[in-house]
Amino acid sequence: MTEHLVPPVEPAGPNPEVTLHGGPLPWRPVSPALATVRLIVLGVFLVVPLLASVVVAALVSPFVWLGTAALLALGAWGAWIIRRQVSAISWVELDEEIVIRKGRLFRSLVSVPYGRLQYVDIQSGPLVRAFGLATCEIHTASPESGGSLPGLPTAEAEALRTRLAARGEAQRAGL
């Protein structure tokens, strides 16, 4: 009976591997195609001002080429950020939680117990869908605590939702 006085966990702490910068756990990355999608969005936003600046530079004043260069630099910087951000998103399913890590400069990590899941959403816009991706959104009783996992292949997102729902049902805790 006395062994029950202490919650039955290893004294070293459970899952000591869950850290902000990954580690030996089988962290799974999201699809690299997400970076492509985001690059396309960035390109669409940049292409109009870029064309405008090229036209103005060619017709009016060569100084405007500076602006064009600045826009190109902005695009390159954005592309670099997007690649880094997408490669930083990773997730792992533990026995009782799903853990999602995001960001490099601003790192964040959210650990959502399956028992706290209220519902799971799968979303995909037209562009994302064209690449066969979907976003998996995890909702708990608190609107801020859920994690969202963008850039999962659609089949994987569906499978994840099914798994989460099943585990949520099995480990259901009240509010």
Partner 1 sequence: MTEPHDDEGWQRLHPLSPLLRGGIVMLAVLGYGVSQLFDNVLGSFDPGTVVPGDLPDGGDAGREFSYTTHPVVALALLVLVIAAVAGGSWVSWRFARFRVTARQVELRSGVVFRQHRQVPLERIQAVETTRPLLARLLGLAQVVVQSAGGSDSQLTLAFLDAGRAEEVRAHLLELAGRADEQGAWADPRDPRDPAAPGAPPAAAVRAEDAAPLVTVPNDRLFVATILHGSTIVLGAIVLVGLTAVGIAEQGIRVLAGAPALIPVVLGLAIGRVKELLVHGNFSIARTGTSVRVRHGLTDLRTSSVPLHRLQAVEAVQPLWWRPWGWWRVRVNVAGVQGDDSGGDETTLLPVGTLDETLLVLATLGVRPDDPLVLDALQGTGPDAGWVGPPREARLLDPWAWRRIGYALSPGAVHIRSGRWTRHAVFVPHARVQSITLSRGPLQARLGLASARVVSTPGPVAAVVPHLAAADAEAFLAVVGDHAREARRPATGTRGPAGAPHSVAETVDPLAPDAPPLVD
Cβ-based nearer residue to partner 1, 61 or 145:
145
* C-alpha–C-alpha distance, residues 69 and 116, integer Å: 50
* C-alpha–C-alpha distance, residues 32 and 35, integer Å: 6
Instruction: Based on the shown chain and the rule CB under 8 A, indicate whether residue 113 belongs to the binding site for partner 1.
Output: yes
Cβ-based nearer residue to partner 1, 55 or 173:
173
Cβ-based nearer residue to partner 1, 6 or 60:
6
Helix (H, G, I), strand (E, B) or coil at 89: coil
* C-alpha–C-alpha distance, residues 79 and 135, integer Å: 21
Instruction: Based on the shown chain and the rule CB under 8 A, indicate whether residue 18 belongs to the binding site for partner 1.
Output: yes
Sign of the torsion angle spanned by Cα atoms 133, 27, 87, 165: positive
Contact track, partner 1, 55-94, x by CB under 8 A: ----------------------------------------
Instruction: Based on the shown chain and the rule CB under 8 A, indicate whether residue 15 belongs to the binding site for partner 1.
Output: yes
Instruction: Based on the shown chain and the rule CB under 8 A, indicate whether residue 140 belongs to the binding site for partner 1.
Output: yes
The residue behind tokens 């997102």 is 157
Nearest-10 crossing angle of helices 64-88, 33-59: 180
Q: Which stretch binds partner 1 (CB under 8 A): 52-60, 67-75, 111-119, 129-137?
A: 111-119
* C-alpha–C-alpha distance, residues 98 and 140, integer Å: 12
Residues that bind partner 1 (CB under 8 A): 1, 4-9, 11, 13-16, 18-20, 96-97, 105-113, 115-116, 140-147, 171, 173-175
